[in-house]
Amino acid sequence: MSTHSRKQITVNTIDELTCSKNLSSKKTDFDDSKNVLHYLANDLAVEKKPHLTLIDRLGSELSSILDWEELDARIYLNLLRIGPVTASALAKELDIDRTKTYRAINRLLSNGIVSTTLSYPKLCIATKPKEVLKIILRRKENEIRRIKECGEEIMERVSEIGPNHVNDIPIFRIAQGLSNIYSCIEKLIEESTDVVYIVTTLKNISKMYHSNIPDKIKICERNGGQVRLLTEINDHGLKLYVNRFNATETKITNLPSKGIVVVSKDKQMIISDTKLNGYDHTIAKSDAALCTNSYELVNNIFALCKLLWKNSKPLKMLENGGKK
């Protein structure tokens, strides 16, 4: 081990306690990639060396949000921590198979997440977190633009293959992961012109607030529908999210479960076993929801929600204003 490496280890050992203390006092929202990368930009500075368990945790968060392989996220974070280094030295430092390390670095290189020097041997350098965010967002925007430009025309040609014979058959499907569950809920609310019930906890509401669901509620109301929110006040620190959620009306009740129930009259229902635990995206990935348009099931659940609504108490005006 070089003299420089021994000095770095000594400095990092002294800094670890301070770094861990600072990080434990922060309440970091990993709800989207912008927050995660902003967090990295501020807390993975070259002067500090976060504890390796923190690196592993951040790697899981980053891979989940950005759809990276966990090894890629781990290598990127450690490149930020260590600084310019050869792929071989990095593999030895992390005790990872050298071939796997080279493959991961090549993936990161092709996406602009990592760069290399022209020197021999080549040194790998991590792109700054804020630049990574720009790269990813630009790529996603290009993908969306391409779909918008070509998707409609292609789907019209696809529809010419033949009629859909299953439109009137009740369907059941499983939505896996929070983003897919929220997408189904957003579609249900946006397309509704009647009453929609949402039955869930304040913690789930605080998460859904960061999705497009509040905007879809406004669209539902413009189309003549209304969204009735049933929840329970068991965490006063999250009450503000009830105001911001923009439900047409909110009532308080004892919830039958800690998941999410969303049902639209005569249309569709979504029942999720979502049990959020802080902002852990490894848990969020395992969430699942049943989506169905079965007339019998939908109207039975709708009748149950209607009964709960009738026997619930109206939400009083919250301290900071908002809907009753």
Same-domain status, 203 and 96:
no
* 20/51 Cα distance (integer angstroms): 7
Tell me if 203 sits within 8 A of 230, measured CB to CB.
no
Note whether residue 195 is domain-resident: yes
- pTM of the entire predicted model: 0.54
Domain containing residue 122: 3-132
Same-domain status, 185 and 113:
no
* 316/322 Cα distance (integer angstroms): 10
* 64/93 Cα distance (integer angstroms): 24
Note whether residue 146 is domain-resident: no
Same-domain status, 119 and 239:
no
Q: Which two tokens stand for residue 13?
A: 């050992």
* 24/10 Cα distance (integer angstroms): 22
Same-domain status, 180 and 301:
yes
Same-domain status, 178 and 307:
yes
Same-domain status, 23 and 126:
yes
Note whether residue 138 is domain-resident: no
- We report the CATH number of the domain holding residue 287 as 3.30.870.10
Q: What angle do CA 235, 237, 239 make, to 5 degrees?
A: 80
Same-domain status, 118 and 185:
no
Strands 195-199 and 226-231: parallel
Q: How many domains does the chain have?
A: 2
Same-domain status, 93 and 178:
no
Note whether residue 50 is domain-resident: yes
Q: Specify which residues 192 forms β-bridges with.
A: none
pLDDT in tens, the chain (324 residues): 544 444 444 334 334 434 343 434 333 444 445 555 555 555 444 344 456 677 777 887 787 777 788 889 899 999 998 899 999 999 999 889 999 999 999 999 998 999 999 888 999 999 999 999 899 889 888 888 888 888 888 888 887 776 665 566 888 889 888 888 999 999 999 999 999 999 998 888 888 888 889 999 999 999 999 999 999 877 666 667 777 788 999 998 888 778 899 999 888 999 987 554 444 444 445 678 999 999 899 999 999 999 999 999 887 644 444 444
Distance of CA 36 to the CA centre of its chain: 11
